[in-house]
Amino acid sequence: MQIFNALMARAIPFIPRAIIQKISRRYIAGTTPDEALARVQQLNAQGFSVTLDVLGETVSTLQQAEKTASDYIDLLEAIHARRLNAHISIKPSSLGLLLDTRQCARLAARIIDAAELRENSVCIDMEDVACTQKEIDLFSRVRAGHGNVGLALQAYLKRTYQDIEVLTREPNTLRLCKGIYVEERTHLVDDAWRDRSAINTHFLNHVSRCFDSGSFVGVATHDAALIEQVIALAQDNGIDKSRFEFQMLLGVCEPLRDKVLRMGFNVRIYVPFGMDWYGYSTRRLNENPSIAGHVAKALIGL
């Protein structure tokens, strides 16, 4: 089965877009805010909190970045009006990070101000390694004037050890994931480029550092063994459940997410929506070849 999954993952560039779109319905909450907010309401009713992600990364003009910021603010207002348990995740490249860092910081601060006004919060997503330092600098800049902003970090990068030491000198809100972007091996820990389980030890080290520093940490993983290790680490160190949460992607490992919720832990679902469903879906398929079964079913049922 693993061989089949790997072959399907390599075949992604040759799979018709119609197939990818059919698969994406499981992992993407539609293309419009109304569709996404309806899904948030359903998840909230089940006991999950949510982070909403508007799909789309690098923009080509500052005008597009301005439009993206306005869309995020409109989304925050809709969340507030419907009294939903959801915050938002923003990708700095969609706010012009690679065009004008000062403009990006201005737009990010504008979004964070809007969230604060509505008693909400924002997570700055981490992108590929070319953006890592820029995004940490952005976080440091906007964090100085706001307490409602967090930052994602990727455990598969060697540099995360240094980054997390700096970021936890005072309590912060951090989101820790294994990492999804394809990077040069020199940037990665151990055998992370071929074995994602090799990241687990480093992931746990980073979670431990967050616990020690008093930082809140979002543990973003679908690795059942890693989740058990994080729970054991928290229990051994007397860490209250309010100090961390587990985060999982919409439509992925639903039995596991339900189990973790039943155990009494906070679980937040990462809910993407928007027009850029193709890029997001292909990244998910590359990251998780076990989704190959869904690809096969879609091919049969098309």
Tens place of pLDDT for every residue, the chain, 302 residues? 455 555 555 665 666 667 766 777 778 898 899 999 999 999 999 999 999 999 876 789 999 999 999 999 999 999 999 999 999 999 999 999 999 999 999 999 999 999 999 999 999 999 999 999 999 999 999 999 899 999 999 999 999 999 999 999 999 999 999 988 878 888 888 877 778 888 999 999 999 999 999 999 999 999 999 999 999 999 999 999 999 999 999 988 999 999 999 999 999 999 999 877 676 666 666 655 555 554 444 444 44
* Whether this model's pTM surpasses 0.95: no
Those residues with Cβ within 8 angstroms of residue 21's Cβ, 6 or more apart along the chain or in another chain: 277, 278, 281
Q: How far apart are CA 244 and CA 214, in angstroms?
A: 10
Q: Are residues 197 and 286 in the same domain?
A: no
Q: Are residues 243 and 295 in the same domain?
A: no
Q: How far apart are CA 33 and CA 78, in angstroms?
A: 9
Q: Are residues 23 and 40 in the same domain?
A: no
Q: Are residues 289 and 158 in the same domain?
A: no
Q: Are residues 40 and 21 in the same domain?
A: no
Number of domains within the chain: 2
Q: Which two tokens stand for residue 39?
A: 């899904």
Q: Are residues 222 and 282 in the same domain?
A: no
Cα 135 from chain centroid (whole Å)? 14
- The b-or-e profile of 29-60 (16+ CB within 10 A means b, else e) is bbeebeebbebbeebbeeebbbbbbbbbbbbe
125 is catalytic: yes
Catalytic annotation, pick one of 39, 53, 163, 175: 175
Domain that holds residue 91: 29-273
Catalytic annotation, pick one of 53, 125, 163, 223: 125
Q: Are residues 242 and 290 in the same domain?
A: no
What is the Cα gyration radius of the chain? 19
39 is catalytic: no
In this structure, the strands spanning 267-273 and 86-90 are unpaired
Q: Are residues 241 and 295 in the same domain?
A: no
DSSP 8-class letter at 60: S
Q: How far apart are CA 217 and CA 267, in angstroms?
A: 12
